[in-house]
Amino acid sequence: MEANELLPQLFRTEYRKLVSVLCYLFGIEHIEQAEDIVSDTFLSATESWSLKGLPENPTGWLYTVAKNKTRNYLKRNTLFEQKLAAELNYNAPQGEEIDLDLSTKNIADSQLAMIFTVCNPCISNESQIALALNLLCGFGIQEIADAFLTTKEVIYKRVNRAKEKLKESQIKIQQPTLSEINDRLETVLTTLYLLFSEGYYSTSQNIPLRKDLCAEAMRLTHLLVENETTAKPVVNALFALMCFHASRFEARTNEQGEIILYQDQDETLWNQDLIDQGTYYLNQASTGTKLSTYHLEAGIAYWHTHKEDTPEKWENILQLYNHLLILEYSPIAALNRTFALAKTNGKQEAIREAEKLKLTDNYFYYSLLGNLYTNLDNNKALTQYEKALALAKSSADKALLLKTISCLIDP
Residue 128 pLDDT greater than 90, yes or no: no
- In terms of C-beta density within 10 A (0-12 exposed, 13-18 middle, 19 or more buried), how is residue 282 classed? buried
Q: Would you call 351 helix, strand, or coil by DSSP?
A: helix
> Looking at residues 40-57, what average pLDDT do you find?
92
pLDDT band at 91 (very low <50, low <70, confident <90, very high): very low
Are 183 and 224 part of one and the same domain?
yes
Residue of 304, 292, 228 lying closest to 262 (CA atoms): 304
pLDDT in tens, 245-304: 999 999 998 887 788 889 899 999 999 999 999 999 999 999 988 999 999 999 999 999
pLDDT band at 206 (very low <50, low <70, confident <90, very high): low
pLDDT band at 202 (very low <50, low <70, confident <90, very high): low
Residue 97 pLDDT greater than 90, yes or no: no
Give the count of beta carbons closer than 10 Å to the beta carbon of residue 352.
Answer: 12
**What pLDDT score was predicted for residue 299?**
98
C-alpha 380/C-alpha 383 separation (Å) is: 5
Are 43 and 113 part of one and the same domain?
no
pLDDT in tens, 323-356: 999 999 999 999 999 999 999 999 999 999 999 9
Residue 303 maps to a domain: yes
| 257 compared with 173, residue with greater pLDDT | 173
Lowest mean pLDDT among 95-104, 120-129, 339-348: 95-104
Q: Which domain holds residue 237?
A: 232-307
C-alpha 268/C-alpha 261 separation (Å) is: 15
Looking at 229, 252, 279, which one is the last position of a domain? 229
C-alpha 29/C-alpha 159 separation (Å) is: 14
Residues 6+ apart with CB under 8 A from 261: 400
> Looking at residues 25-45, what average pLDDT do you find?
91
Are 121 and 223 part of one and the same domain?
yes
**What pLDDT score was predicted for residue 30?**
86
Q: What is Dmax (Cα atoms) for the chain?
A: 85
Are 95 and 184 part of one and the same domain?
no
Please state, rounded to an integer, the average pLDDT across all residues of the chain: 89
C-alpha 284/C-alpha 376 separation (Å) is: 43
Which residues on adjacent β-strands are paired with residue 253?
259
> Looking at residues 115-124, what average pLDDT do you find?
88
Are 118 and 162 part of one and the same domain?
yes
C-alpha 165/C-alpha 36 separation (Å) is: 20
**What pLDDT score was predicted for residue 361?**
93
Residues 6+ apart with CB under 8 A from 346: none
Give the side-chain half-sphere CA count within 13 A for 372: 27
Tell me the angle at which helices 104-118 and 178-200 cross, rounded to the nearest 10 degrees.
80
Are 199 and 131 part of one and the same domain?
yes
**What pLDDT score was predicted for residue 161?**
92
**What pLDDT score was predicted for residue 86?**
60
- In terms of C-beta density within 10 A (0-12 exposed, 13-18 middle, 19 or more buried), how is residue 195 classed? buried
Residue of 150, 138, 118 lying closest to 219 (CA atoms): 138
Are 224 and 275 part of one and the same domain?
no
Residue 62 pLDDT greater than 70, yes or no: yes
Q: What angle do CA 183, 119, 84 make, to 5 degrees?
A: 100
Residue 95 pLDDT greater than 80, yes or no: no
Dihedral sign from CA coordinates of 244, 398, 199, 293: negative
Are 136 and 219 part of one and the same domain?
yes
CA 125 to centroid of chain Cα atoms: 13
114: enclosing H helix or E strand: helix 104-118
Residue 380 maps to a domain: no
Are 153 and 82 part of one and the same domain?
no
DSSP letters for 198-258: HHHT-SSSSSS--HHHHHHHHHHHHHHHHSTTT--HHHHHHHHHHHHHHTTHHHHB-TT--
Are 225 and 121 part of one and the same domain?
yes
Distance from the first to the final alpha carbon of the chain: 51
pLDDT band at 170 (very low <50, low <70, confident <90, very high): confident
Cβ atoms of 144 and 155 within 8 Å: the answer is yes
Helices and strands, counts by H and E, the chain: 20, 0
**What pLDDT score was predicted for residue 281?**
98
Cβ atoms of 400 and 258 within 8 Å: the answer is yes
pTM attached to this predicted model? 0.86
Residue 346 maps to a domain: no
**What pLDDT score was predicted for residue 261?**
87
| 15 compared with 204, residue with greater pLDDT | 15
Are 120 and 185 part of one and the same domain?
yes
The count of domains in the chain is: 3
**What pLDDT score was predicted for residue 82?**
65
